[in-house]
Structures are given as C-alpha cells and as structure tokens.
C-alpha cells in the first residue's frame, strides 16, 4: 500500500497542473509563431488547436488572450484570430525605441557592472555563440535578450527592463527571420564580443557602439523583411 502511494505521489509530481495548461499552450503556440511555422496573416482556429493539443477550447481561448496581449495575434469579429503582422514603420520604431532605452540603461549600468556580472554575461554569450554555430534559432532569441539584459541589470531600472522585454517579444520573430535570410550570425557574434570587451574596460564608448549595433540590426532586418514580403506576395 505504501509503495502504491509513493508511486502515485511520484507520478503526480510531474503532472501538469490544470491551471498551468493555458500558459503551456501559450508558450507552445508562441514558439511556433516565432519559429515561422505560423506566418503573418495565418488563421488560428480554436477548434483545430484544441484538437491538435487534445484539450478543450477553454484553455485555448485563454492562451489566445495571452498571445494577443503579447501582440503576436489579433482577434477580429466574425473572423477569429490571425497571426499579427507589424508594418515596417512600426518595426523600425521598435528598433529606435530599443536603441534609445538600451543605450540609456547601459550608460546607467556601466559603472555598476561587477566582475561577477561580466563573468555571468560571458557565460550567457558562450551559450548564445553555441546557438549561432548550431543555427539554433529558437535559442538565439531568448539568449540574445538574456545577454543584453545581463548588462543592464546593475542599473536597477525595473520598468525600463520590463518595457524592453515587451519590445523583445514583438521583434523576436523578425530577428529570427533576419538571421535566417541574411546569415547574420557572424556579424552578431563579432559585435556582441566587442560589446562585452568594451564593458569589461568600462569604456563609455560602448554606449554609442550599442546604438550602432541595434540600428544596424534594425536596418538589415527591414531590408530582409521587405524582400521576403515581396517574395511571398509574388508567390501568392
């Protein structure tokens, strides 16, 4: 009897809690959108998603609400939900916001970065470089943000970090597209190494280098995205 109870408790430890199902669904669908499996304008049908995940429509509806709040899908009356598409000018605006906010928070953080902080940043960067080399696009997005974030944490600007994380969610899928279309892995790796090296020296010029890093990435992305959208339109 005791063995049976222990076995039951062991199994329940790994059982997905009911209240976490919408979050698990949201995360799975988010990754499928970011990876490009679901493309801009693709419909997301609740019944089909529920059948695919073998669950009821209720957690799917909640997952859709979370994805809409993150800006990844939009719901339209009588048309259901579709994967959102950001106009090019809005993507450009997000990169301009990134440059403005990240340069400000980096300037505030630079004098407070400890050697331990920089060791942690370098560890993240090594994982990011590994993802670059393996062309592991799913890990690149998360690790890219973690590397940048690690350099900003000593500034203790909680609200700025929250805003930047929200921006990162919006542009993550487009950064993945850019890397795949432009093979920009080597340049990104080189620039991140330069940023870390300058931070280790507490070089104030790193702020302007960061600005250029972000603006160049935005420019390359918009160029690649424009070509892809034209190609997709022609194919249709």
Q: What confidence tens digit (pLDDT) does each residue in 194-228 have?
A: 999 999 999 999 999 999 999 998 888 888 777 77
Note the pLDDT tens digit of each residue in 34-72: 777 888 888 999 999 999 999 999 999 999 999 998 788
**Which residue's entry shows tokens 């440059």?**
99
CA 50, CA 17: separation in Å to the nearest integer? Answer: 17
Residue 1 has what pLDDT? Answer: 53
Domains of the chain and CATH, by start: 18-83 (1.10.10.10), 88-235 (1.20.120.530)
- Per-residue pLDDT reduced to its tens digit, 158-173: 999 999 998 888 788 7
In the structure, what pLDDT confidence band is assigned to residue 16 with cuts at 50, 70 and 90? Answer: very low
What single string gives the DSSP state of each residue in 23-73?
HHHHHHHHHHHHTTSSPTT-EE-HHHHHHHHTS-HHHHHHHHHHHHHTTSE
Question: CA-to-CA distance for 191 and 184, rounded, in angstroms?
Answer: 11
Does position 121 have pLDDT exceeding 80, yes or no? yes
Give the C-alpha separation, 176 to 24, whole Å.
Answer: 22
Q: How many helices, marked H, and strands, marked E, lie in the chain?
A: 10, 3
Higher pLDDT, 97 or 41: 97
Q: Which residue has the tokens 């939900």?
A: 81
- Measured at the CA of 157, the angle between CA 152 and CA 160, to 5 degrees, comes to 90
């Amino acid at each position: 009897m005791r063995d049976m109870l222990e076995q039951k408790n062991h199994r329940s430890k790994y059982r997905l809690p009911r209240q976490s199902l919408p979050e698990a669904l949201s995360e799975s669908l988010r990754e499928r959108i970011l990876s490009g499996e679901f493309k801009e304008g693709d419909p997301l049908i609740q019944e089909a998603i529920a059948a695919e995940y073998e669950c009821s429509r209720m957690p799917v509806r909640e997952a859709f609400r979370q994805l809409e709040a993150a800006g990844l899908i939009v719901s339209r009356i009588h048309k259901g939900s579709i994967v959102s598409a950001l106009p090019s000018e809005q993507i450009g605006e997000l990169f301009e916001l990134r440059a403005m906010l990240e340069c400000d928070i980096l300037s505030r953080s630079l004098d407070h970065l400890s050697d331990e902080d920089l060791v942690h940043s370098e560890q993240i960067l090594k994982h990011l470089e590994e993802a670059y080399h393996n062309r592991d696009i799913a890990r690149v997005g998360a690790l890219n943000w973690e590397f940048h974030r690690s350099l900003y944490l000593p500034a203790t600007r909680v609200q700025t970090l929250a805003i930047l994380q929200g921006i990162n969610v919006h542009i993550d899928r487009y950064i993945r597209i850019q890397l795949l279309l432009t093979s920009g892995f080597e340049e990104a790796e080189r620039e991140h190494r330069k940023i870390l090296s300058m931070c280790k020296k507490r070089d104030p010029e790193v702020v302007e280098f960061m600005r250029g890093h972000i603006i160049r990435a935005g420019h390359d992305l918009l160029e690649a995205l424009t070509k892809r959208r034209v190609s997709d339109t022609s194919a249709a």
